[in-house]
Structure 1
Amino acid sequence: MAAILLDPLAALGRATLAACRTVGGVALFALEAVTHLVRPPFYGRLFWRAFVEIAWFSLPVVALTAVFTGMVLALQSYTGFARFNAQSTIASVVVISLTRELGPVLAALMVAGRIGASFAAEIGTMRVTDQIDALTTLSTNPMKYLVAPRLLAAVIALPLLVLVADVLGVMGGWLIGTYKLGFVSVAYLKSTFDYLQTDDVVSGLVKAGAFGFVIALMGTWCGYTSKGGAQGVGGATTTAVVASSIFILALDYVLTEAFFAQ
């Protein structure tokens, strides 16, 4: 009887210890990767390859997401604010929402689905086919060769993508505002720039850099620690995307609290 009662507690304890091991392993992995960023040698070719893959090839999906988000946000804001005769605030709501929140978060989620999965699949395949062990045999540090360039590339590329997303999202809101909702173009743009502050843009770019680090970290860690052949690589890819998305949303709250808490 006592054993039956203690079984749930034992399962909870095992789950807690496993979670602590995972968190500790990710933290040590991140610390080691960051230290390799400041120690030579630096593989510039791998950094540039990862940067192009993240920034350039993710641009179409991020751009489309931003444009349609701005358009939908303008329409929804108009529908809600028309009840209070506050349609004049739509431009300010669109630009503040995009630069502070929607631009960084949606761009990061799009990139996580694309790049996080790509990193996990590529490095995971190298792990299960013993290519990472071969790098060690050839006196090449796998962390410096596979992880550090991707982390740096993601941290630099995400803010650039978010900056583009902010511009295109505001443009989407402007298109809907002027061509569908009847706003005067000059007045809409003037309201946009009057309410836009430097802190709004900077906070979004800082969020984007942090999100880029999380995406690259989870993608590389899940791939680096994968095992079990093709099935393990598939599981690592799924875990990378899900974990990145969850951490992005959690980190978004933490950073928003840090930037805008009174």
Structure 2
Amino acid sequence: MKGPENIRSRAVSFFTEIGEISYFALRFFREVFRPPFEFRELIRQCYNIGNRSLLLVCVTGFILGLVFTLQSRPTLMEFGAESWMPSMVSISIVREIGPVIIALICAGRIGSGIGAELGSMRVTEQIDAMEVSGTNPFKYLVVTRIVATTLMLPLLIVIGDTVALLGSAMVENLKGAVSYQLYFNEVFDALKYSDIVPATIKSFFFGFAIGLVGCYKGYYCSKGTVGVGEASNAAVVYTSMLLFVIDFIAVFVTDIFFEVQ
């Protein structure tokens, strides 16, 4: 009987946590439009999230473009379709590979950082002290971080996609003697609004998910200092799973919308 009871307890715990995260998100939407607005803290969080993640995103995007082009080029050469390389790489990176990979990298970098930061504040009773002093810690700590991740992640994804295309263009320039101008002319001819707009919209949802789960895990951290590590680890795991769910929904809705169009 331990097996079924264990499965049932895990299922109850899973759905309970989904409900708590949903309530946490509803509280965010209730607080985000209610004054006072912490603009200075929001700008500081945007700078921290964007600036500290920029180098990692650029390196990841550059390597992604290099590897994807190097792996795809021999297959296209077998069919004499090397001229399709710019369009294939650009559509693949802009539509799917770039947003998902960069969002996962940012989930590890940003989500774990937020979870550990808020978790340590909860353990050291700094959040309790803010509540006693009359400050709204949810507004100051949670709302600003979620809004910052929602705004910054699309910018990081755009930069990462651009650097990935530069890496791909470098490979084509060295391997196939394709000029950078010709490569990017092919890229812009291949890309359409139906490729760029859905990828940009879902990147906002990616950023919201990273900020929401990271703040939730850190804000309700417990169990002393051990809980800080657990909150940081759980933030990355939960966010990574949620990113794939959001990506599936976004692709499904996009296919339906443009098929109807």
Same fold per TM (> 0.5)? yes
1:243 aligns with 2:212: no
Output the CA distance in 2 between the equivalents of 1:190 and 1:96: 14
Output the CA distance in 2 between the equivalents of 1:119 and 1:7: 36
Alignment partner of 2:201 out of 200, 206, 214: 206
Q: Deviations over 1:132-168 (max 9, x none)?
A: 1111111122211110011111111011111111211
Output the CA distance in 2 between the equivalents of 1:99 and 1:143: 35
Query: How far is the alpha carbon of 1:190 from its aligned partner?
Result: 2.0
Match of 1:8 in 2: 3
Q: How many residues were matched structurally?
A: 257
Alignment partner of 2:184 out of 186, 189, 193: 189
Alignment partner of 2:120 out of 94, 108, 125: 125
Match of 1:114 in 2: 109
Q: Deviations over 1:142-200 (max 9, x none)?
A: 21111001111111101111111121111111111112233244432221111111221
Task: Tell me, yes or no, if the aligned pair for 1:66 and 1:169 is still in contact at 8 Å.
Answer: yes
Alignment partner of 1:225 out of 207, 216, 220: 220
Match of 1:25 in 2: 20
Match of 1:101 in 2: 96
1:73 aligns with 2:68: yes
Output the CA distance in 2 between the equivalents of 1:260 and 1:75: 29
Q: RMSD of aligned C-alpha atoms?
A: 1.3
Output the CA distance in 2 between the equivalents of 1:85 and 1:131: 63
Output the CA distance in 1 between the equivalents of 2:174 and 2:68: 15
Query: How far is the alpha carbon of 1:109 from its aligned partner?
Result: 1.2
1:253 aligns with 2:248: yes
Query: How far is the alpha carbon of 1:8 from its aligned partner?
Result: 2.3
Give the TM-score taking structure 1 as reference length.
0.94
Output the CA distance in 2 between the equivalents of 1:140 and 1:67: 43
Structure 2 residue ranges without an equivalent (≥5): none
Task: Tell me, yes or no, if the aligned pair for 1:227 and 1:233 is still in contact at 8 Å.
Answer: yes
Structure 1 residue ranges without an equivalent (≥5): 1-5
Task: Tell me, yes or no, if the aligned pair for 1:103 and 1:204 is still in contact at 8 Å.
Answer: no
Give the TM-score taking structure 2 as reference length.
0.94
1:84 aligns with 2:79: yes
> In the alignment, residue 259 of structure 1 is paired with which amino acid?
T
Match of 1:3 in 2: none
